Amino acid sequence: MRVLDHPLIAGRYFFPRPDRLAEPTAVTCRDGTVLNCYHHHTDPNLLTLVHFHGNGEVVADYVPDYVQALASLGVNVFMAEYRGYGGSGGQPYLGQLLDDVADLRAHLGLAGARTLVYGRSVGSMMAIEWAATDPTLAGLILESGIADPLERIRLRIHPSELGS
């Protein structure tokens, strides 16, 4: 097991809520886990903004008002959901959440130059993961980004609890 997938991290760091969208866009990850995302796609010629929300939030919090506000700026909007959040399957293990970024990219099938990635709070880690693996990305937006994930984890978990 990877340290980032330790159950203590999932249990003490993440605060998932089950609030689910009425009509989610299902994204199936490599391990079969289904994420209940939301895709507002109006024009294939527009850039797509991919949004990763903060901890304790779910995609349903942003639909429809926030999505409409973003779309009014002239972008398609994809709201990414996390494992265990918003009726999605699985548990929010940090390592798996970071791995899911590749599955979300594959689902969208967009060239990096057609994609803006936005991460809010804990979502900044997934947004940075996307940017680190796609140098052609059109842009990266971080709101209340996490500069040091290890420091954040250590606020809730002592390293000795992880067996290290």
Query: Residue 121's domain spans which residues?
Result: 3-17+25-153
Give the CATH number for residue 54: 3.40.50.1820
Q: Is the pLDDT of residue 2 over 90?
A: no
- The CA distance from 23 to 126, in Å, is 24
Position 43, amino acid: D
What phi, psi does 163 have (nearest 5°)? 85, 20
pLDDT band, very low/low/confident/very high, at 161 (cuts 50, 70, 90): confident
Q: Evaluate whether residue 52 is within a structural domain.
A: yes
Query: Of 125, 37, 39, 13, nearest to 89 (Cα)?
Result: 37
- The CA distance from 113 to 13, in Å, is 33
- Where helices occur in the chain by DSSP H, the ranges are 7-13, 65-71, 94-108, 123-133, 149-154
Each residue's pLDDT tens digit, 50-87? 999 999 999 999 999 999 999 999 999 999 999 999 99
DSSP 159: G
Per the prediction, the chain carries an average pLDDT of: 95
> What is the domain count for the chain?
1
Average pLDDT over residues 144-148: 93
DSSP 76: E
Please tell me the predicted confidence (pLDDT) of residue 138.
Answer: 97
Q: Evaluate whether residue 158 is within a structural domain.
A: no
- E-strand ranges in the chain read 25-28, 34-40, 48-52, 76-80, 115-120, 139-143
Q: Evaluate whether residue 110 is within a structural domain.
A: yes
Full-model pTM: 0.95
Q: Evaluate whether residue 159 is within a structural domain.
A: no
Helix axes 123-133, 94-108, angle to 10 degrees: 60
